[in-house]
Structure 1
Amino acid sequence: MANSPQSKKRARQADVRLTVNKARRSRIRTFIRKVEEAIATGDKTAAQSALHTAQPELMRGVTKGVYHKNTAARKMSRLSARVNAIG
């Protein structure tokens, strides 16, 4: 339990960051899921457009500290490879 005023403030800030980051992570997962659903239907144009909308969201997660840079790059690489494989 936080006792000093500084530790109480840090605990409050941690709670706020947790909720904000949880919302950001959920939003990014939604965009990724839209790409995967478009891939599952086999519609290449829809998958490409979903990928182009998901990419800035994923990179925004990197700048906000939700994801590591390499994690986001790996996710984008794998998604784009799957989109390109639709043919």
Structure 2
Amino acid sequence: MDDETPLRGRVYGTDHDDTHPGPRPGCVYCELVGGPLDGLLLDVTGWDTEQLADGAVLATGIGRYGAGGRACYGPRPGDPFRWDWAGDTP
């Protein structure tokens, strides 16, 4: 997201009791869309172009496979900072 776009929401990986679970200045985020992590922000600060194009497989206990499962997300064509859910994997 560019510096002009205000981001809101919780960052993936922050604790639920974190006093500042939202985005931090100087970081780059992708918004996760759909699936079990819908609405969370993923910190991709420092990721190179190839890593961003690959997307991510993220640990989550609330997906189809429960504890130990993972949710797959990838960049949306034309909007690389919105990552769409592609399904869950064990």
Q: TM class by shorter-chain length?
A: under 0.3
Higher Rg = 1
| TM-score normalised according to structure 2 size | 0.22
Greater relative contact order (Cα 8 A, min sep 6): structure 1 or 2? 1
> More strand by proportion, 1 or 2?
2
| TM-score normalised according to structure 1 size | 0.23
